Every structure is written in structure tokens, then in C-alpha cells.
């Protein structure tokens, strides 16, 4: 009996399966192995994805803290945003057995049991105050310690003192507060060293700029810092900031929720909750970006409903939408008040920006005015940044870049304007008298050297070589967006650049801030060792001195 044999085609189809099986058996590992670690979720790293381990957090990664008057932002280097934001308030400072959260008005949402002073109304929500006369520095150290412990244990999930610490602080921070902050870090944790970075410089770095004018509309004050090639050239401040805005909004809501007339209400007392007022300010406060003639501001003729100040959980009340822009107009711009009537520390924000630009050299001024960076909580108010730029433009058109002011100068300008108008009138009348003058012959050609400019071959060659490069913008008012001081500090730290101020633990515990030396000239940058060259035998406070 004949037996059937498989065809040649069937043999060809079965051979690859056998070879694949043998290849898979030979590729099987001989011993158990650990699978590769997955990237950390939510880590927006600044580092390049091509570098090995760029999406992983190493144990020696620095921890960055941005410490402000009301908030602490913390996270790891290389991240694009902080991991957490911890605030200060009565709820965060409660102890075991403290039941103030259940008392009426203590939570900050409902109305207060009795009106309080405007300064006492905001005192419990601040970490420190710039007026150190009534400030308990020991309490400030305790608040900082509690906030840092909560940050490490609940958000960062790492041990304090094992990683490098980088602080982003404003350069106008008082020395007693800086000393208390460093004492709390070095005495209660074993940090080997702490690096200080300027908040304004880091804000400019996060915008991708080397030079900028950083306008920080913060809680207690508004600062304008001119930065040229990563160095702070000048800084000016004003008390017109978010704190005064909150107090003014609290007075308006107090009058809205009371039965008294606005004239009978006490101007310096507030009876609404702080949390309620902050929520209304964050959601409804706005600024009209356009100003009419005479400084008058008109808003849309409409009425909106907001939670009632007397019972925010259940009732609503109607308020004109234009009235919600009055606190911003009064606090930030001071309408009806001339510049000579205001103190140096209470200038309006447009005047503050203009005066800062006025103190700069012409080359630095042209660079900084085209790179204005707005940061801080107050900069998020709708329409505020555009209004500031419009006001600064009006000041430039009115005064130019001359610091000389006065009635005598105004009379001289008026006289020059009249002379200019009269000369233009005479020039317009001159062609009628010269109509009989002999004209040029038709065959005569004009002189080409007078009509056409001389060709510069060197400039043409440079333009051909640099035609792909971008043109440097200068001399115009322009706003540039920034990711904030924390993101800039994260970027600088991830590049492993040594800071200008590195305070070692042993040296600080021995001498404190008195151990810092004052250098007449800033150190020369060194690319191999970072921002600062030379040894570390002595340390300096740089911009904080």
C-alpha cells in the first residue's frame, strides 16, 4: 500500500515555526531578572530624554523650596512644577484639642462674631511681616518647622536632611527673618549646606531671558527688579499689593452685608470671613484695561449674584459688576492722587515700573522694557497687566526719559511747542512767495549723492551672514510670560550650577550671618565650576547683603 508523503511546500511552511521556537528557547534568560523600573509618573523633567535616567529621581536630587509670606512651594529638581503648595492659616496651625474650626466665623467662611481691625484680620494668615517690631521670630521658626515637616512627610515622602536644599527667596528679605529661617533649618535638621537663589532672577530664567524687568505683585508688597545678564541692577518696592487689595475688598463686602450706610461704617473694621473674601477676590476682582479721559473708568452695566456675606452657604446678593473693579483701581493705581503726594514706598504700580526703568542706563533700559515679566498672585487679576503697560506708555509719552519735573519745565515745553507751530505756519506760507523763483532746467539731473544713502559693504556682508539670526527686540514695551521662580530654580539646579550663596552648616552655627564676608565686586563666572570661581573658605550673602 502506498503511503502519502508531505509535499515540499508543506515542509517549507513548517520550518519557520520550528526555527522560531528554537530561537525563543535560546533567548530565554538562564536566571530570574528584575524588570526595568517604570518612569515616575507626573515628572515633567527639564532634562533631555536622551540622557540615561533623565526621567528617574536619584537620591541625590536637590529639594527646592520657594518660601513666601503666605505659601511654601516644594518639589524636586528637574520638575516643571512644584509637588505641593503649603499655606499658613489658623487651620494649619491647630493643635490637638483645638476646636476653633467649629466656632462660627473661625473657619473664615462665615461672618465674624464681631468686627476686627484690618491688620488683625490678616495676621493669622501670614508667615511673617516686614514690620519686625511686633513680630515673634520664635513663632516664625515654629511655623517654618511645622510646614517643612508636613511637606516632607505628606508630600515629598523623603527624609529631611538627606538631600541638598535650595531656597528661592526675595533679595529684599530682612536679615532677622533670614537668620531665623536658616537657624530653623540647620538646628532642627542636619542639612550639610543650603543654597540661596534670588526669586526675581529665577523668574527671568524661567522665562528664558538673561535680562528682564520682573514685576512681582506679591502679598505684602510689589517689587520691580531690573535684571541685566542675570544680575540684579536695581530694585524698588511699593506697599500697594494684594494685602491692601484684600482689605479694601473686605471693607466693601462688610458694607454690603451690613444695614448701615457706607458713610456710617467704620473704615478700618471688617466683619466678613477672610476665606470668603479671598474667594470673592480671586473669582470676581477685575481691572479695566482701558482708561477714559480724565482718569475715569467705566465698566459694563450689569449686576451679578455672589454669595451673601451674612450667610455664604445659602443666600446670594446682587452687586454691580463695575463695583468689583473699584478695589483694584483704588489700591493699584491711586486715582486722583499725584505722584508728589505719595511716599516713596506707596507709589502706584505704573509709576513704580516707570521709575525703575528711569534709573537704568539707556542700553539696559531698552532691553528690560521689552522683557517685562509679571509674577505673583496679584498678576493673575484679569486686565491688570495690560492696564499697567498702558499707564506706563502714557507716562513715557508725557515725561519721556527725563527725571526733571516741575511747572517751569512745563512752561518751557509749552513755549517750545508754540514756537514749533509758528515755524510750521511760516514754512507753509513760504512756497506762495517763491512761486516766481526760476525752476531747474529739464535736462539737469539731481545729485545722486544727496538723494541715495552711501552703501556700506561691511553692513551688507554682516546682514548676509546673520540673516538667519533673530532680531533683538529693544525699546518697546512688551510682556513676556514666565513659569515662576520655582520652575527657574528647578531648571538652574538641574543643570548642576553652583549658586552664588552656599551656606555651610558648621560655619553658620559658629558665626551666623555675621560670618558672611562682603565683596566689593561680584565673583567672575567660571564655566567649569559654575557661577562662582575660587575656593569656599569664605561665603557671602551676595544680593542679600
Q: Is beta strand 212-217 parallel, antiparallel or unpaired with respect to 193-198?
A: unpaired
For 24-40, how does the pLDDT look when each residue is reduced to its tens digit (9 = 90+)? Answer: 444 444 454 544 544 44
pLDDT computed for residue 261 by the predictor: 58
Say which residues have a Cβ less than 8 Å from residue 242's Cβ, sequence separation at least 6.
Answer: 217, 218, 219, 376, 377, 378
H-type helices in 299-383, by residue range? 326-328, 349-358, 362-368
- Predicted pLDDT at 168: 95
| Dist. CA 61–CA 20, nearest whole Å | 45
pLDDT per residue of the chain (545 residues) written in tens, 0 to 9: 444 444 444 444 444 444 443 444 444 444 545 445 444 444 444 444 334 334 455 667 899 999 999 999 999 999 999 999 999 888 777 776 776 666 655 556 777 888 899 999 999 899 988 888 888 999 999 999 999 999 999 999 888 877 889 999 998 888 999 999 999 999 888 888 899 999 999 999 999 999 999 999 999 999 999 999 999 999 999 999 999 999 999 999 998 888 665 555 557 789 999 999 999 999 999 998 876 545 455 566 789 999 988 888 888 999 999 999 999 999 999 998 888 888 889 999 999 999 999 999 999 999 999 999 999 999 999 999 999 999 999 999 988 898 887 788 788 888 888 888 888 888 777 655 444 444 444 455 555 545 566 777 777 777 777 665 566 788 899 999 999 999 999 999 999 887 778 898 888 888 888 877 765 445 554 444 444 444 445 677 877 76
Q: What is the pLDDT of residue 155?
A: 92
Q: Are 44 and 8 in contact (CB under 8 A)?
A: no
Note the pLDDT tens digit of each residue in 431-477.
554 444 444 444 555 555 455 667 777 777 777 776 655 667 888 99
What is the SS3 assignment for 227?
A: strand
The Cβ of residue 159 has, within 10 Å, a number of other Cβ atoms equal to 10
Which H or E run includes 375? strand 372-375
CA 62, CA 493: separation in Å to the nearest integer?
A: 7
89 and 108 Cβ atoms separated by less than 8 Å: yes
pLDDT at 381: 95
Q: Is 108 left (phi over 0), alpha (psi -120 to 50) or beta?
A: left
| Rounded distance between C-alpha atoms, residue 194 and residue 178, angstroms | 12
Q: Which domains does the chain have, with CATH numbers?
A: 63-88+125-199+483-544 (3.30.420.40), 242-399 (no CATH)
Distance CA 58, CA 33 (A): 22
| Pairwise CA distance, residues 521 & 203, whole Å | 24
Contacts 24+ apart (CB under 8 A), 3-12: none
Q: 326 in helix, strand or coil?
A: helix
Amino acid at each position: 500500500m502506498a503511503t502519502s508523503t508531505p509535499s515540499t511546500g508543506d515542509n517549507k511552511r513548517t520550518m519557520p515555526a520550528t526555527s522560531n521556537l528554537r530561537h525563543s528557547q535560546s533567548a530565554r534568560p538562564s536566571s530570574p531578572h528584575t524588570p526595568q523600573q517604570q518612569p515616575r509618573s507626573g515628572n515633567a523633567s527639564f532634562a533631555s530624554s536622551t540622557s540615561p535616567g533623565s526621567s528617574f529621581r536619584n537620591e541625590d536630587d536637590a529639594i527646592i523650596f520657594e518660601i513666601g509670606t503666605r505659601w511654601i512651594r516644594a518639589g524636586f529638581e528637574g520638575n516643571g512644577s512644584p509637588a505641593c503648595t503649603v499655606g499658613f492659616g489658623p487651620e494649619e496651625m491647630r493643635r490637638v484639642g483645638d476646636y476653633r474650626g467649629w466656632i462660627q466665623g473661625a473657619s473664615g467662611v462665615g461672618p465674624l462674631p464681631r468686627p476686627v481691625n484690618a491688620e488683625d484680620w490678616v495676621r493669622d494668615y501670614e508667615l511673617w511681616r516686614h514690620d519686625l517690631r511686633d513680630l515673634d521670630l520664635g513663632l516664625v521658626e515654629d511655623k517654618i518647622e511645622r510646614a517643612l515637616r508636613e511637606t516632607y512627610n505628606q508630600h515629598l515622602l523623603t527624609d529631611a536632611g538627606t538631600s541638598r536644599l535650595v531656597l528661592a527667596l526675595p533679595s529684599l528679605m530682612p536679615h532677622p527673618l533670614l537668620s531665623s529661617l536658616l537657624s530653623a533649618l540647620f538646628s532642627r535638621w542636619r542639612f550639610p549646606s543650603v543654597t540661596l537663589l534670588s526669586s526675581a532672577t529665577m523668574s527671568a530664567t524661567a522665562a528664558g531671558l538673561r535680562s528682564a524687568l520682573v514685576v512681582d505683585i506679591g502679598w505684602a508688597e510689589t517689587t520691580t527688579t531690573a535684571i541685566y545678564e542675570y544680575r540684579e541692577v536695581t530694585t524698588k518696592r511699593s506697599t500697594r499689593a494684594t494685602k491692601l487689595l484684600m482689605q479694601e475688598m473686605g471693607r466693601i463686602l462688610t458694607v454690603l452685608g451690613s444695614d448701615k450706610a457706607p458713610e456710617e461704617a467704620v473704615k478700618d473694621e471688617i466683619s466678613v470671613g477672610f476665606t470668603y473674601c479671598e474667594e470673592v477676590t480671586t473669582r470676581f476682582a477685575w481691572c479695566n484695561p482701558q482708561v477714559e479721559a480724565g482718569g475715569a473708568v467705566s465698566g459694563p452695566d450689569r449686576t451679578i449674584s455672589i454669595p451673601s456675606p451674612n450667610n455664604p452657604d445659602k443666600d446670594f446678593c446682587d452687586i454691580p459688576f463695575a463695583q468689583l473693579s473699584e478695589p483694584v483701581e483704588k489700591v493699584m493705581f491711586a486715582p486722583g492722587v499725584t505722584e508728589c503726594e505719595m511716599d516713596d514706598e506707596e507709589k502706584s504700580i505704573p509709576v513704580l515700573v516707570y521709575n525703575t526703568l528711569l534709573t537704568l542706563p539707556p542700553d539696559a533700559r531698552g532691553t528690560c522694557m521689552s522683557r517685562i515679566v509679571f509674577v505673583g498672585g496679584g498678576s493673575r487679576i484679569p486686565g491688570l497687566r495690560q492696564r499697567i503697560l498702558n499707564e506706563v506708555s502714557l507716562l513715557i509719552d508725557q515725561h519721556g526719559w527725563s527725571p526733571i519735573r516741575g511747572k517751569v519745565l512745563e512752561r518751557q515745553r509749552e513755549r517750545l511747542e508754540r514756537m514749533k507751530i509758528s515755524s510750521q505756519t511760516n514754512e507753509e506760507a513760504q512756497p506762495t512767495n517763491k512761486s516766481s523763483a526760476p525752476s531747474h532746467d529739464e535736462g539737469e539731473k539731481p545729485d545722486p549723492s544727496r538723494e541715495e544713502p552711501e552703501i556700506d559693504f561691511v553692513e551688507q556682508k554682516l546682514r548676509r551672514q546673520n540673516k538667519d539670526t533673530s532680531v533683538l527686540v529693544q525699546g518697546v514695551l512688551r510682556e513676556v510670560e514666565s513659569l515662576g521662580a520655582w520652575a527657574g530654580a528647578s531648571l538652574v539646579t538641574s543643570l548642576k550650577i553652583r549658586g552664588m550663596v552656599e551656606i555651610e552648616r558648621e560655619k553658620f552655627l559658629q558665626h551666623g550671618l555675621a560670618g558672611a564676608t562682603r565683596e566689593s565686586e561680584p565673583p567672575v563666572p567660571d564655566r567649569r565650576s559654575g557661577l562662582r570661581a575660587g575656593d569656599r573658605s569664605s561665603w557671602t550673602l551676595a544680593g542679600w547683603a
